[in-house]
């Protein structure tokens, strides 16, 4: 009888906790820019001020700051368009080899988000593959591997 009582108490406690957690989750506006920015910066460990500092350094050509900025943007689709801009700058202006891969990755990612059911058009495909080729020419390992994968398809 004692075990039954403990089981009922545990069951009711779990139900209360789950109910509270679900109410809290539903009360959050998951599509709000504020929530996206705050939650994502906490996940990757960068504050908005730190990200702004990295952006300024990248615009000045700081090749050591670029990986930190990209790390802050990884898996954050909200920032993917911004990441593309900084990758274009670091690739085109400062010839940073791995920036060319991220131009390819971000551009195709953005395309896939906005045109999910459509195949990437030939003009866009040529542009992004050219960036990938440039990264491979500069001996960027990730660009080389991605080109191999594309050629095998």
DSSP string, 54-106: HHHHHHTT-TTHHHHHHHHHTT-GGGHHHHHHHHHIIIIIT--HHHHHHHHHH
Q: Which tens digits make up the pLDDT trace of 25-64?
A: 334 333 333 433 443 444 357 778 888 899 999 999 999 9
Q: Which tens digits make up the pLDDT trace of 130-142?
A: 999 999 999 999 9
Q: How many CB atoms lie within 10 A of CB 40?
A: 19
pTM > 0.85: yes or no: no
Average pLDDT over residues 77-87: 79
Tokens 């509270």, located at residue:
20
Q: Is residue 10 part of a domain?
A: no
Q: Is residue 40 part of a domain?
A: yes
Q: Is residue 21 part of a domain?
A: no
Give me the percent of the chain exceeding a pLDDT of 90: 44
Q: Is residue 117 part of a domain?
A: yes
What value does the mean pLDDT of the chain take? 76
Q: 45: domain range?
A: 33-152
Is residue 55 exposed (0-12), middle (13-18) or buried (19+ Cβ within 10 Å)? middle
Alpha-carbon distance 76 to 45, whole Å? 13
Average pLDDT over residues 92-108: 95
Q: Is residue 5 part of a domain?
A: no
pLDDT value, residue 118: 81
Looking at the structure of the chain, the number of domains it has is 1
Q: Is residue 16 part of a domain?
A: no
pLDDT value, residue 21: 36
pLDDT value, residue 31: 36
Give me the percent of the chain exceeding a pLDDT of 70: 67
Q: Is residue 12 part of a domain?
A: no
Average pLDDT over residues 70-86: 75
Q: Is residue 9 part of a domain?
A: no
């Amino acid at each position: 009888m004692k075990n039954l009582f403990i089981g009922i108490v545990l069951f009711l406690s779990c139900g209360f906790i789950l109910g509270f957690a679900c109410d809290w989750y539903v009360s959050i506006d998951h599509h709000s820019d504020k929530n996206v920015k705050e939650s994502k910066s906490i996940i990757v460990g960068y504050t908005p001020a730190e990200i702004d500092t990295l952006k300024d350094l990248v615009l000045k050509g700081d090749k050591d700051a670029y990986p930190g900025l990209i790390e802050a943007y990884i898996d954050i689709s909200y920032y993917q368009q911004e990441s593309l801009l900084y990758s274009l700058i670091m690739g085109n202006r400062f010839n940073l080899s791995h920036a060319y891969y991220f131009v390819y990755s971000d551009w195709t990612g953005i395309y896939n988000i906005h045109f999910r059911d459509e195949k990437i058009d030939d003009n866009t495909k040529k542009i992004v593959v050219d960036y990938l080729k440039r990264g491979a020419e500069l001996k960027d390992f990730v660009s080389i591997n991605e080109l191999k994968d594309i050629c095998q398809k």
